[in-house]
Chains A and B, each alone.
Chain A
Amino acid sequence: MSASLNARNGIASLIVAGLLLLPLFSQLSGNVFVLTLFTRIVIFALAAVSLNLIMGYGGMMSFGHAAYLGIGGYAVGILAAEGIGSGFVQWPVALLSSALFALVIGALSLRTRGVYFIMITLAFAQMAYYVASGLSRYGGDDGLTIYKRSNFGALINLSSRVQFYYLCLACLFGGIYLVWRIVNSRFGMVVQGLRSNERRMEAIGFPATRYRLVCFVIAGTMCGLAGALLANNTDFISPAVMYWTRSGDLMVMVILGGMGSLFGPVLGAIVYLVLEEFLSQVTEYWALIMGPLLLLIVLFGRGGIFGIVGRLARG
Chain B
Amino acid sequence: MLLVVEQSLNGLQFGLLLFLLAAGLTLVFGIMDLVNLAHGSLYMMGAYFAATFVAWSGNFIIGILLALGATLLLGIVLEFVALRHLYGRDHLDHVLATFGLILFFNDMVRLIWGPAGLALPLPSWLTVPVQIVPGVFYPAYRLAIIAVALAVALMLYILVMRTRIGMLIRAGASNREMIGALGINIKLLYTLVFGLGAALAGLAGLMQAPILTVQIGMGENILILAFVIIVIGGIGSIRGAFVAAILVGMIDTLGRAFLPDFLRHILSSAAASTAAPALSSMLIYLLMAIVLVARPEGLFPANRR
Contacts and interface: CB of A to CB of B under 8 A. Distances in A.
6 contacts: A112-B292, A115-B91, A116-B298, A118-B95, A295-B97, A299-B86
Nearest to B227: A119
Nearest to B217: A245
A248 B96 CA distance: 8
A136 B270 CA distance: 11
A115 B107 contact: no
Given A131-B278, A298-B96, A285 B110 contact: yes
Nearest to A125: B285
B54 interface: no
A209 interface: no
B296 to A, nearest CB: 5
Interface in B64-123: 82, 85-86, 89, 91-93, 95-97, 99-108, 110-111
Contact of A113 (B100, B227, B296): B296
Most buried by B among A63, A116, A124, A298: A298
A182 interface: no
A251 B92 contact: yes
Contacts of A130: 278, 281-282, 285
B278 A298 contact: no
Interface stretch (A4-12, A42-50, A286-294): A286-294
Interface in A131-167: 131, 133-137
Contacts, number: 137
Interface residues of B, number: 47
A194 interface: no
A285 B107 contact: yes
Contacts of A135: 274, 278
Contacts of B224: 122, 126, 244
B275 A292 contact: no
B97 to A, nearest CB: 4
Contact of A133 (B85, B95, B106, B277): B277
Given A124-B285, A131-B278, A298-B96, A291 B293 contact: no
A255 interface: yes
Nearest to B91: A115
A114 B96 CA distance: 16
